[in-house]
Chain A
């Protein structure tokens, strides 16, 4: 649980188009790392390379290294399916499986690992995961109801429960609150704070207050012009990024001068 991620000289391509260029960063375990930047700067694309989800798009590829605990995710012979079991992901819009009950949603990932589990173990896992996602109290009496019947914020916490049920090393979050109301957002942010004691968390957000509230480290992505590749401008303690950034572009961005 909770592993360090070491990114070295990572270039990300869509076909021939270089989308993100030369990212170097070390993501600390048991901490929250926020990625901020204007739309189209490649922060979500970068996030998706951390569990090889970008490969869902035909033609997407990378060069460089992403090491999770000294194992390169892009070494030959590494199965992306295995990578995704170790590096979980929560998406922008809550996406519980609509055809599954709340219970089945939580164990969906575990069932993939094909290890047979006793019903009682499964029940414990569901309870533990839902408690871990601060959702247990709200849904414990309707575990057999469809997950799509929950509110947006509850659905997102269900997705988090589903992600942590497989006990990943890292949890990636791609703007997890952008489709939620402020109260649900607060619930998720509290949850992120609790989760960081067990997981390495990387979160992409458009909301700079959110980045300042939840994260320990912040990376600022930017692009010089449309059509140019995005790149990591600055990566430092969140406190420093928001009070005394080292780059002019970062300062302009966080003070709302563009983006």
Chain B
């Protein structure tokens, strides 16, 4: 700049304040998010430390921190996985219907309805789960227990109230459906016309075209959407706290009366009556939840990156 400014007097020497201010703001915003994340992690570690170092018999449950958190972590992951198993194919199906099958008007209306689902507060889903889904699930659970009872997930004594892990999974699936559908819809819409026409010109039917062009192109997007949904399902508190009838320990049976709790719901339920070391224990379980979600996200990124060479990005 300094050498050319002599030859070109019109060049502005004055610093561009707007530019600087904006650069500062943008950098500040970027740094802030790191500080917040580090702050949260730091807080969790700091508050969890007493529980981490406490003698096992002092921790709630009397058998040490690991024994307390492990069943909760199990319940958290189990309910979230059930939700994901139900919601992933459903959201892919809805998104494909909206983007490739439905007439425009129906597609628009359906899109709005799905988005509306996202706006329903989780407490409402909880109440709906208790009063509608739970009773409705009882005959289904009985059937599952009778015919698929050889699987460890379906025990011999289905719950009569229906307040089971399965019902929580179903309600969570419906809660994460909107965000997953929205993501899937966006990525499916972005499938290049070129690729769709390439497969059609080879004599593909609509379904074959979707399988050849749309789904491969959208795969990483579908995984990201699923991870977003999983993140929400892992952290969901109110709906789980209302619905689930919890018993201590690890329970594989998802239709029985005894169900493993989840970390988020356990914190919400126990926190009001906790003090001292019990609070630290709850924070420690929160730390575990924090790491689970972190791992889930890293796994998702790894899956996407592994296929990057074959992705549609170029």
Of A84, A93, A149, which one neighbours B203 at CB under 8 angstroms? A84
B213 at the interface (CB under 8 A from A): yes
| Interface residues in A, total, Cβ within 8 A | 29
B131, chain A: closest CB distance, angstroms:
44
A50, chain B: closest CB distance, angstroms:
11
A58, chain B: closest CB distance, angstroms:
8
Q: What 1/0 mask marks residues of chain B from 201 to 222 whose CB sits below 8 Å from any chain A CB?
A: 1111100100011001101000
Q: Tell me which residues across on chain B come within 8 A of A84, comparing CB atoms.
A: 200-204
Given A56-B197, A84-B200, A108-B199, the answer on whether A97 and B205 have CB atoms closer than 8 Å is no
Main DSSP-derived SS at the B contact region: helix
Q: Tell me which residues across on chain B come within 8 A of A225, comparing CB atoms.
A: none
A159, chain B: closest CB distance, angstroms:
7
| In the bound complex, CA of A88 to CA of B205 (Å) | 15
| In the bound complex, CA of A148 to CA of B216 (Å) | 14
Of B200, B307, B309, which one neighbours A56 at CB under 8 angstroms? B200
Q: Which of A56, A82, A95 has the most CB of B within 10 A?
A: A95
The answer to whether B216 and A95 touch across the interface, beta carbons within 8 angstroms, is: no
Q: Tell me which residues across on chain A come within 8 A of B197, comparing CB atoms.
A: 53, 56, 89, 91, 95
Given A97-B213, A98-B217, A99-B217, the answer on whether A112 and B200 have CB atoms closer than 8 Å is no
The answer to whether B200 and A53 touch across the interface, beta carbons within 8 angstroms, is: yes
| In the bound complex, CA of A53 to CA of B198 (Å) | 10
| Interface residues in B, total, Cβ within 8 A | 26
A40, chain B: closest CB distance, angstroms:
19
The answer to whether A89 and B201 touch across the interface, beta carbons within 8 angstroms, is: yes
Q: Tell me which residues across on chain A come within 8 A of B232, comparing CB atoms.
A: none
Extra A-B contacts (4), CB below 8 Å, given A91-B201, A95-B195, A98-B216 = A93-B194, A95-B198, A99-B219, A109-B202
The answer to whether A97 and B212 touch across the interface, beta carbons within 8 angstroms, is: yes
Chain A, 36-54, CB within 8 A of any chain B CB: 51, 53
Q: Which 6 A-B pairs have the closest CB atoms?
A: A85-B203, A99-B216, A109-B202, A89-B201, A95-B194, A84-B203
